[in-house]
Amino acid sequence: MVATLYGASRVAVGLALMLAPKAASPWLGAVARQPDVHGALRVLGARDALLGVAVLTSSGEPAALRRALRLSAVADTVDAVVSATDFLRTRRGGAGFAVLSAVGGAFVGFREAR
């Protein structure tokens, strides 16, 4: 059940970034509203959506599910490090929220992968 919610939330966040990259403004600030950045945000969204799909479609195969959860958790760990660096540089609240969100995602992914 947790893995399904985890995968579905990745798909939802990924689709939101792909369809409305400006939605990343609280996280990235004004730069997210610049058209030149939208392509990179859409790529990030596609990554998250695909990781979520991997989790959702591997639920019947325990080994595949563990791999998909670990990959998602590693992506969240990288996101946490990058967002923490951004937060320390900018002190932007959205970046701080991104750190907490990514750390939470990494924790859930690694825990569910056991």
- The model's pLDDT over 51-98, given as tens digits with 9 standing for 90+, comes to 999 999 998 899 999 999 999 999 999 999 999 999 999 998 888 999
Contact (Cβ atoms closer than 8 angstroms) between residue 14 and residue 47 = yes
Round to whole Å and give the CA distance between 59 and 78: 24
Round to whole Å and give the CA distance between 26 and 51: 23
The answer to which of 22-31, 34-43, 46-55, 75-84 has the lowest mean pLDDT is 22-31
